[in-house]
Each structure stands twice: as C-alpha cells, then as structure tokens.
Amino acid sequence: MTEKLVIIDTDCGIDDAQALMMALAAPNVQILGLTCVHGNTSVENVCQNVLRVLSVCEREGIPVFRGAAGPLIGASNPSSDHFGGDGLGDVIEDRDPQWEKKIQREHAASAMIRLVSENQKQVSLVALGPLTNLALAVRLDPGFPQKLRDLYIMGGNMEGKGNVTLCSEFNFAMDPESAYVVLEEYLCPTYIASWEYACRNPLTWEFFEELINQDFAAARFMKLITSKCWAYSKEAMKTKRDVYFGPGFVSYDSYAMAACIDSSVVTDSITCPVRVELQGALGRGMMVLDRINALKKNHCVTVMTTCDLVKFGRLLMESLRQPCKR
C-alpha cells in the first residue's frame, strides 16, 4: 500500500484524539506534522492534548506546531465545554510543566506551507477544527492550496441544522470567515465530512464499550478521557443529538480521518459547489450546497453522505490497539 503523507490540523478534543490515534495506527500514513488551532479549548490546551496523545502512542518524534488562538477576524469566541474545559474531559491531573519546550517555534501556518512546498502534490491536509490556520496559510502563500494533494475537512452542515447555533456546525461557526476563505480559495480536491454525515452514520453504544475496553494503552486512555464527559453518555446524547438523527455513538473527527486513510470507507457522496454564509443573522457559518449551479462556481467539493460502517469500525478498533512503535 502506498504511504500517504499527511498533515493534521486539530483543535484536539476527545474525538480529535481518537482521529489522531487512527492516523497513528494506520500503516499507510506518515504524519509530517500536527498543527494546533483554537476550538474545543484554548490553543495552549490543544498543544498539550496533542503531546499527550503522542506520548500515549509512543510517537513523540512527530513535530507539533502552535497556530491561531482565535478566529481570522473579530474577538475570540469562548471555547466549547463539549469535551470539558481542557478538551479531554477534565480528567488528566499530571499535566506536563515542560510542554512548551516540546512545541516547535515555527507557527502552524508557516509549517504547513513549508512542509507542503517540500512535498508538492504529495500531502493530504486533514482539518479537524476551525479552519483559521488554513485561511492564514493561503493568505501567506496564495499558491499553497494548489501544492496540496487533497484536503479533508470535518465540519459544516448540509441542511441548516446547527449544533451550536440554529443553522451552523461548531467548526465553521467558530470562524465563519476562515471557512469561507478555505472553501472559496482551496481549489485542490476537497472532501467534507459534515455534521450530518457523522450523525447519520453512527455506531452502536455496544461497539463503543467494546472499543474502550480493549487491553491496550490507547484504549485505556480513551476510556479515561470519556469517563466523565457527557458527550460520551448514552443518556445525555438522547436529548442533544437524537432530536434530528437518532441514537448511536459518533466520533465526529474520525469520519474525515477514515476517509483520508481509506477512501472506500465513503460509499456515497454529493459533488457540487459550496459556499459558507457570512451575513445571515440566523445562518452565519452555515454551509450551502449549490446543487443547481446558481453560484456559477467552477470548483466542486465532495460532501460525504454514506459510510461503510464495517470498515470504519475496523479502523476505530485498530486505532486503540496502540502503542504502535516505528
């Protein structure tokens, strides 16, 4: 199997951690760098969370870069408490006081540009958080997107059903301007795992129990960080997500990562132009699918709709059978 070069941009909460471990366990993936962005928690916490995941998986050699601490314009939005104040369920007590020394000095956006320029048309960029670092990268180097092999995004919504505002999904709502810039200016092949895609392709809670109770270091870590988090409570999620989509365990960011690792995980999709709404009082941050070509855009993206849950579940199971030394 041909090795894929990957950069992962993350606002490392619990589902990001799961997605990172999926990439770390994949034999066909070489991670060139991990770039950190605000989102689920502060960018400082994100950096520490990424370092923690790498430590659990014994992969500390992968460089980690600190990026944007807030959106492209305007004041910073308060971070979500969906995964706890620190992004990993508020259960980790032994924080590393030396963590800043382990972060690269280079800014995340500059690191993206450099790593991709050194490996043109070979790097897949996987964006799991707000798209601020990606917007900064294209502002610093307008030719950056055309140097990418492809782009995978977890974010956006297809039907105006929001999870933090009435009509928008969290990652896009946290920085609508950056989401707009990326979906207008990144003309490389682009694949989007929307909120609806994740929610409509859930796994069972019985699968989740089997997943976190494997006798491996990574599984024990995942069991710890989900232990007190309401987002991983079967009962709590009945009132939060089932209003629209029905019951089940959903590891949101893992859907985008799985598509990057194995494209056959995605069994159906929509290909069309998209645009992010910036002006609407209710719709700001909402992703609009242009299925009638009203926008007259030349660039289309692939919006995932259906997932092979057997293959997806297998990737999740393998992701927690770590450490996987290299």
Q: Distances in Å between the alpha carbon of 114 and those of 121, 126, 144?
A: 13, 16, 9
Does the active-site annotation cover 11? yes
Three-state DSSP class for residue 124 = strand
CA-CA distances (angstroms) from residue 190 to 75, 126, 149, 182?
Answer: 29, 10, 9, 10
Residues 6+ apart with CB under 8 A from 58: 322, 323, 324, 325
For residue 58 the two structure tokens come to 């014994």
15 half-sphere exposure, CB direction, 13 A CA radius: 24
Nearest to 313 by CA among 67, 22, 44, 72: 22
Q: Which two tokens stand for residue 130?
A: 């707000």
C-beta separation of 131 from 182 below 8 A: yes
Which of 9, 11, 15, 150 is an active site residue? 11
So which residues are the catalytic ones? 11
